[in-house]
Structure 1
């Protein structure tokens, strides 16, 4: 089979880093991924032949490779899309993983390997080449990627049904006809008819195969839709048509790249809360998994977001951006956000769990695209929706720049990676000059601040020895002595993915869907209790009654230690008190105040007043034990002011 050597010119790499990239660059990435698929397929067959020769022989893997090679040589342009199928890349990666982990031949391994014949059969069908291959089956019925099980031909001659067969079956194609061949029957079957969603606008076509069946496209964190009925297919088609109009009219470069890169839609179930979800798999270049979004605009944002992930996955195959051993990959007043507080994990504003550098880069690159999307789209929305666009732009601009700057300071990037992320940061800094209406900016950055501070209290752990020393100083009425801003040391609790608190979702909904926000908040009792599980202080915070919110959170913390949501709520409620040193310190270093508060209660049962404690720490940080406070505006561990 024919493959080529692929390189990404430095100029094109910088264009991609800036969130741009031409149609030619997108095509270059697609070509490289197609060659990678061929190499992966060859590796699967060669590894099987070496380690499990019986399986290689009995599954006729050599015949599958030969048939695919013949089809490619006969009709290369027709077979190229088959070799680029995300199902092929994901299947090959899955097979190689199974081969690496397998101690011996097994039915499960063979079931996976048998799909080699299925991909060869698809290539031969499209090229018009006759074939006779073993393919995977479901209870004796041949199954092909995307389409699933094939069905007997309705107009074929009457034949007795085949006996149930376990394992692969023989599929024969000749003259454009398909036949299932077993020891006792030859049964005509219909050609595969996958569900395809096609929409055209302004000279560009979006053509997506819907895949509800290929196991290798399963997303670990989300449930797939097993099938789509006609009503659901129509809803998807209508949504994609509206989405495509938005993208082709106002985001032309993204639309051109999406039309080339995205080939498959994997429908997902929404989250239990009803929120839409989306994902990509690094091994499945060209596939986007998503639940049906609430509107066309949300789907447009999703496609841009997932396109960025796919582009970066392809770039990483050609250019190393993260140093070896870093795992697999994701000036607004908010600050860049927490930096690396351990050697291994970082804060990601779009996740609730700490992320390794490679995953952090994936997320930052995806949200570079999202930020660019809202930078344009916010000016095109009707007045009642404009706040959504402005708030999203302000929020994602600040968050993504912060992550880019933390990656640059991490020491985890290669030289190429530093150049790539540096260009990302340069573009984001330039966008800080773009004006955002004050109220939209406040709403976006408040949601960002609440997410960040909740994460910090949950995941940032202060050195126990330092906590012991600070507690002793507090009890002895001595200064906190925080003049060295690298002290106390921090580390991260890496695995603690609990999901968003309802208040976090509502803070985003406040600007994303104000009508829905008002309905949900109005359904809560005046006390703040109700179906959402909000406390009175949370309800006050969401209604912008900041004094009542602060009083509620302080009352809870004066009685006993509380969870991260209480501390982040208090920090948000007092954040605007710019002349209050205690409030300013709490807003910047909430995990330290929380940790000392808990340490005091653990040691002596004392529940210190949170603001008094924050004021004491603030005086220690400034080196002024006489009560004056002057913020240096510098960087604290894991945080930039």
Structure 2
């Protein structure tokens, strides 16, 4: 895809891993441009394969596209927010590679949920039946409605929407109230409604219901799967978030502000042993996938680590940093398995951000003494491993010219961090 040239110094700034509002705005703009491109690619594909798509599915897709266009004409900010939600990217990625057949038809139904979500958030008048695949209507970034009949009726207007989960409108509906027109904030209540918790001091959601939050086969090696909605205790997650974010704010206020700006969703993963494990999806920047962090330190480190995977994935879409299709693999200190050059770059970048964080934690008087101590130890352990990975990157012929510049700037920041810091106090 063709983007405008990067601003002077953008690669150097991003390579340092330090937060900068201009860099965040650049990545958000790139993310949105890619979403629009992928959405247009989906429309082209649906039109091309029209005869192979179920007629009812095609009709609903066309109606949903029309609704989304009309809402976007009057409320572009709301539509942009819905399109840029992480799981919209995961849906587009899955749909575009799905062969023609019933599974593709199932993916296409999702556009109706996107259009309805945008319309509800924009206070658009609605009176329509909506499909609820698998017995649930998922409204991205808002929650889900149980629908035993496989379909719901939505009537909306004047800041109030009513969703009937049965074909009959005799049962008590779910009520969604638009509490803030500027942000499109909706609050719901009803026995069939499961809304998403909002993380304190943030616009991000604890998303344990979206069907695209984790791929069907899991993520990572070994595969990590999504926690089932009934397995998630929001109170535990919100407590971990508050503690982790507060610790991050005391240690590195700039990073805490970056997390608030860039993070859109935290996706709970099923427990895997005694350690918490984090992950990101390249197709869903802005979402951090993790099992329950052990405490504040674990949460803070997971947020920084995974957020930098998201930043790098978005930057690579904006300007390719490495060439695809190479078979070479390389050993890095933080993993037992050999990694392709993309994995080396991703790991080096995320761990460089952590070494920067650990150096600050080790020398900060405002953080608890145990973290000051462990941060110094972790810095000492990982700093050399990042240096070795940077040497692999700079000796490789798999990086593009922009990728080489990026790695060189990473090395400069790595060198500026120096040797193991002396703990404060």
Q: Secondary structure at the match of 2:267?
A: strand
Structure 2 residue 349 is matched with structure 1 residue 348: no
Structure 2 residue 419 is matched with structure 1 residue 395: no
The answer to whether the 8 Å contact 2:205/2:264 transfers is yes
The answer to whether the 8 Å contact 2:227/2:269 transfers is yes
Query: Which of 351, 355, 361 is the aligned partner of 1:377?
Result: 361
Query: Which of 389, 392, 417 is the aligned partner of 1:406?
Result: 392
- In 1, the alpha carbon distance for the partners of 2:402 and 2:128 equals 45
Structure 2 residue 175 is matched with structure 1 residue 190: yes
Structure 2 residue 177 is matched with structure 1 residue 177: no
TM norm structure 2: 0.84
Q: What pairs with 1:235-384 in structure 2 (closer than 5 Å)?
A: 235-272=236-273, 274-326=274-326, 344-380=328-364, 381-384=367-370
- In 1, the alpha carbon distance for the partners of 2:128 and 2:92 equals 18
The answer to whether the 8 Å contact 2:305/2:350 transfers is yes
- Which shifted more, 85-94 or 263-272? 263-272
- In 2, the alpha carbon distance for the partners of 1:245 and 1:403 equals 31
- In 1, the alpha carbon distance for the partners of 2:282 and 2:312 equals 9
- In 2, the alpha carbon distance for the partners of 1:5 and 1:178 equals 42
1:263-291 per-position Cα deviation (integer Å, ceiling 9, x unaligned): 1110112322x111111100011111111
Query: Which of 219, 228, 231 is the aligned partner of 1:226?
Result: 228
1:42-96 per-position Cα deviation (integer Å, ceiling 9, x unaligned): 2223212211346375222121112112112212223332121011111011100
The answer to whether the 8 Å contact 2:85/2:140 transfers is no
The answer to whether the 8 Å contact 1:114/1:135 transfers is no
1:431-490 per-position Cα deviation (integer Å, ceiling 9, x unaligned): 2345458xxxxxxxxxxxxxxxxxxxxxxxxxxxxxxxxxxxxxxxxxxxxxxxxxxxxx
- 1:385 Cα shift? 4.5
- In 1, the alpha carbon distance for the partners of 2:128 and 2:32 equals 23
The answer to whether the 8 Å contact 2:138/2:211 transfers is no
RMSD, aligned α-carbons: 2.7
Q: Secondary structure at the match of 2:199?
A: strand
1:100-127 per-position Cα deviation (integer Å, ceiling 9, x unaligned): xx1x422x22121101000110000000
The answer to whether the 8 Å contact 1:361/1:407 transfers is yes
Query: Which of 399, 403, 424 is the aligned partner of 2:410?
Result: 424
- In 1, the alpha carbon distance for the partners of 2:276 and 2:378 equals 17
- In 1, the alpha carbon distance for the partners of 2:109 and 2:88 equals 12
- In 1, the alpha carbon distance for the partners of 2:129 and 2:329 equals 46
Q: Secondary structure at the match of 2:229?
A: coil
1:496-515 per-position Cα deviation (integer Å, ceiling 9, x unaligned): xxxxxxxxxxxxxxxxxxxx
Cα distance, 1:383–1:260 mapped onto 2, change above 3 Å: closer
Q: Secondary structure at the match of 2:331?
A: coil
1:526-572 per-position Cα deviation (integer Å, ceiling 9, x unaligned): xxxxxxxxxxxxxxxxxxxxxxxxxxxxxxxxxxxxxxxxxxxxxxx
- Which shifted more, 253-262 or 88-97? 253-262
Cα distance, 1:186–1:105 mapped onto 2, change above 3 Å: farther
The answer to whether the 8 Å contact 1:348/1:354 transfers is yes
Structure 2 residue 205 is matched with structure 1 residue 209: yes
> Greater relative contact order (Cα 8 A, min sep 6): structure 1 or 2?
2
- 1:228 Cα shift? 5.3
Q: Secondary structure at the match of 1:142?
A: strand
- 1:256 Cα shift? 2.1
- In 2, the alpha carbon distance for the partners of 1:61 and 1:88 equals 15
- Which shifted more, 286-295 or 189-198? 189-198
Match of 2:27 in 1: 29
- In 1, the alpha carbon distance for the partners of 2:135 and 2:202 equals 35
The answer to whether the 8 Å contact 1:26/1:261 transfers is yes
Cα distance, 1:56–1:132 mapped onto 2, change above 3 Å: farther
Match of 1:157 in 2: none
- In 2, the alpha carbon distance for the partners of 1:148 and 1:105 equals 28
Q: Secondary structure at the match of 1:360?
A: helix
Q: How many residues align?
A: 394
Structure 2 residue 106 is matched with structure 1 residue 121: no
- In 2, the alpha carbon distance for the partners of 1:125 and 1:61 equals 18
Unaligned runs of 5+ in 1: 153-161, 200-204, 327-342, 438-641
Unaligned runs of 5+ in 2: 177-187, 189-193
The answer to whether the 8 Å contact 2:152/2:163 transfers is no
Q: Secondary structure at the match of 1:190?
A: strand
Query: Which of 87, 101, 108 is the aligned partner of 1:105?
Result: 101
TM norm structure 1: 0.57
1:152-182 per-position Cα deviation (integer Å, ceiling 9, x unaligned): 8xxxxxxxxx8x44xx666554443234598
- In 1, the alpha carbon distance for the partners of 2:86 and 2:411 equals 31
- In 2, the alpha carbon distance for the partners of 1:386 and 1:431 equals 16
Match of 1:79 in 2: 79
1:573-603 per-position Cα deviation (integer Å, ceiling 9, x unaligned): xxxxxxxxxxxxxxxxxxxxxxxxxxxxxxx
